[in-house]
Chains A and B, each alone.
Chain A
Amino acid sequence: MTRLADAFIADRPALICFVTAGDPSVVATPAILDALVEGGADVIELGMPFTDPMADGPAIQAANIRALDGGVTTADILRIAKEFRARHPLTPLVLMGYANPMLRRGPEWFATALHDAGVDGVICVDVPPEEDDALGPALRAMGIDLIRLATPTTRDARIGAVLNGASGFVYYVSVAGITGKQQAQQASIEDAVARLKHATDLPVAVGFGVRTPEQARAIGRVADGVVVGSAIVEIVAEHGPAASAPVAAYIKTLSAALADARKVSA
């Protein structure tokens, strides 16, 4: 079993938490990652900043700018990941970001570097299944999961293409839009998760617009995982270098909500 697979075997949904690497600074990120684990995060999504985050809303755009203004580099991100792995041998770590920073030195270089850093998976916003050759084969060769995205626009006829080559888990983007505050209707989430679970044995996690414990619990009743991003990034924006304590406190409210969200088998 991989670390990622282990994260989904409990009888409660996994809590997947996103922060941007280097926000508010390179030196502050490790403590924020520790705060996520302390608060009860089951999977860490570490955002790789990009100058042009075109799928992100204002909160994560601003986080990208803060991180890049702070001088974060790819080498810094890999070092943050490697040190996280040393401190937390069991918590899965996934890098999330855009194709260009991932492909800059070639996909094989990237996959090898992630393997050496102990990274478990990759979510790449702008490499759809049609362009899998750009990244997928290199990651699979190094045993790194490529987590695919499904969205409200992914019709049934396309689900097979999305799942082909996917591993780790499937990330259901519940809103046709950018990251942030917009929220999907619970009924549409339940319908989409059911369709995906009918098509795959991979765990299905749901994200975009999730920010309250109540929302997380409702989604957790049908999904295998709940992704929270912008809400955490906003706490980092507000508290800066002192964000660890409020982040941990917030994550605890989410993990507590999920602890009693018994998964309903599909």
Chain B
Amino acid sequence: MNAPNSFRAQPDERGHFGPYGGRYVSETLMPLILDLEREYRAAKQDPAFAAQFDDLLEHYVGRPSPLYYAERLTDTLRDSAPEGMGAQVWFKRDELNHTGAHKINNCIGQILLAIRMGKTRIIAETGAGQHGVATATVCARFGLPCVIYMGAKDVERQQPNVFRMKLLGAEVRAVESGARTLKDAMNEALRDWVANVHDTFYIIGTAAGPHPYPELVRDFQSVIGREARAQLLDRTGRLPDLLVAAIGGGSNAIGLFHPFLDDTDVKMLGVEAAGEGLEAKHAASLAGGFPGVLHGNKTYLLQDDDGQIAEAHSISAGLDYPGIGPEHAWLKDSGRVDYTAVTDREALDAFQLLCRTEGIIPALEPSHAIAAVARVAKDMPQDAIILANLCGRGDKDIFTVADALGVQI
């Protein structure tokens, strides 16, 4: 009998997830991308690499992160559910990681690769600042100089993270081009990289960019799903009915989803940022975009009829990006994962709901996932299990939330 088709076997050897992904970079970068791929293949075969990665995740990051049954949130959602309905809500607590988000998992993996490749300088882009903080953190830990590109608008709205990065020894360069957000920071990081390929490693923060980045970021983040799968089996003896995760580029979502992709009874829901609504300004590339090429990969993009990239909008700086990782584009087309979108308003409501019911201040990014959980839980039976990724904590967002709620602090 032939092995069943697997959803976990992507990408192909050229980095394609179906029609998506690939290596759409300038010739200057191409040899470096090929070197990176070779080095990643070698690292994957090297038990010493895995041992160092696992050791750092355990003792430096604080993994495994807990799996938590959100009893009061579950009960609260059941109050408005029909009789017998209202699924159990469980959270993978990646907000408890060192630096307060899932981003550090990937940064540990990539800086170990950079060191393997003999690179002596690190660059990264950041939106909310979580990836920038995580990158600055690992650079401090390994003693490498670090430049973080951040849109000037994001610098303004994420001052605490800017200061954190500086404390950690990183140089933060505010990017004034375009809409002055994550997309523009990525352009500027690519311009830096192309001029410094000889010594510089680019730590991309999400499961996007040219091959092999979407694959290696997914692999480093898959620790989330592997742990969650084992933890839930251990605690309940079963797999979840539904996985839920927020999506900007999609690294926390693919990290949670990937280890479950071949568990056919586990449904999955990715949650994009609908901003002010899908008819207005938003950041939902799958819901409102079309396939195209940007930042090294083919994927769904917010763009006009001429292929000019549209400005994304979300209250969450980490979701404010007009594209999405190519594996999500493929999972959408294949039907394996469902995708929905949640507005700024719904995310703010969910943010406050979690604060009050569980004593957890979530980041605005997973607040989108929590809003989607609140929407779907009441239509699922009480013995059903929803497992959502709480991918970041909300300390960085309190000023944004206060502003949105009209509160002076």
Contacts and interface: CB of A to CB of B under 8 A. Distances in A.
B305 A130 contact: no
Contact of B32 (A50, A51, A57, A153): A153
A55 B294 CA distance: 12
B294 A178 contact: no
B303 interface: yes
B305 A104 contact: yes
B178 A158 contact: no
B269 interface: no
B368 interface: no
Interface string B23-48: 11111111110000000000000000
Given A126-B296, A176-B194, A176-B195, A153 B27 contact: yes
A2 interface: no
Interface stretch (B2-10, B183-191, B238-246, B278-286): B183-191
Interface in B263-299: 292-296, 298
A239 B183 CA distance: 31
A52 interface: yes
Contact of B307 (A100, A130, A154): A100
A80 interface: no
A127 B187 CA distance: 16
A230 interface: no
A160 to B, nearest CB: 14
B301 interface: yes
Secondary structure dominating the interface of B: mixed
Given A100-B307, A103-B292, A104-B305, A152 B28 contact: yes
A90 interface: no
A54, A126, A149, A152 — most chain B CB neighbours (10 Å)? A54
A54 B191 contact: yes
Contacts of A148: 27
Contact of A153 (B31, B183, B307): B31
A128 B294 CA distance: 14
Given A155-B31, A177-B194, A178-B194, A55 B26 contact: yes
Nearest to A208: B28
A100 B303 contact: yes
Nearest to A101: B307
Interface in A41-66: 50-55, 57, 61
A142 interface: no
Interface string A81-104: 000000000000000001111111
Contacts of A138: none
A125 interface: yes
Contact of A52 (B26, B187, B197, B198): B187
B292 A100 contact: yes
A52 B294 contact: yes
Contacts of A102: 307
Interface in A119-172: 125-128, 130-131, 134, 148-155, 158, 162
Interface in B23-75: 23-32
Contact of A149 (B27, B191, B295, B309): B27
Contacts of B303: 100, 104
Given A128-B27, A153-B32, A178-B194, A51 B308 contact: yes
A68 interface: yes
B383 to A, nearest CB: 47
B235 interface: no
A100 B301 contact: yes
A99 B27 contact: no
A102 B307 CA distance: 8
Contact of A100 (B25, B186, B195, B293): B293
B83 interface: no
A128 B25 contact: yes
B28 A103 contact: no
Contacts of A51: 178, 308-309
B28 A176 contact: yes
Contacts of B28: 55, 151-153, 173, 176-177
B177 interface: yes
Contact of B191 (A99, A134, A152, A178): A178
B186, B191, B195, B303 — most chain A CB neighbours (10 Å)? B191
Contacts of A73: 306
A154 B306 contact: no
Given A61-B177, A104-B305, A176-B28, A131 B294 contact: no
B290 to A, nearest CB: 8
A128 B30 contact: yes
B24 A99 contact: yes
A66 to B, nearest CB: 13
B178, B295, B308 — most chain A CB neighbours (10 Å)? B308
Contacts of A130: 14, 22-23, 30
A74 interface: yes
A148 B27 CA distance: 9
A151 to B, nearest CB: 4
Contacts of A53: 187
A209 B41 CA distance: 37
A251 to B, nearest CB: 27
A138 B198 CA distance: 35
A177 B198 CA distance: 11
Nearest to B189: A54
A101 B308 contact: yes
B115 to A, nearest CB: 21
Given A55-B26, A100-B303, A101-B306, 5 more contacts: A100-B292, A103-B307, A130-B30, A131-B23, A154-B31
23 contacts: A50-B308, A51-B178, A54-B190, A55-B26, A55-B28, A99-B24, A100-B292, A100-B303, A104-B307, A126-B24, A126-B25, A128-B24, A128-B30, A151-B28, A152-B28, A153-B27, A153-B31, A153-B197, A158-B30, A176-B194, A176-B198, A177-B28, A178-B194
Interface of A: 50-55, 57, 61, 68, 73-74, 98-104, 125-128, 130-131, 134, 148-155, 158, 162, 173, 176-178, 182
A-B pairs with the 5 shortest C-beta distances? A104-B307, A177-B195, A101-B307, A99-B293, A100-B307
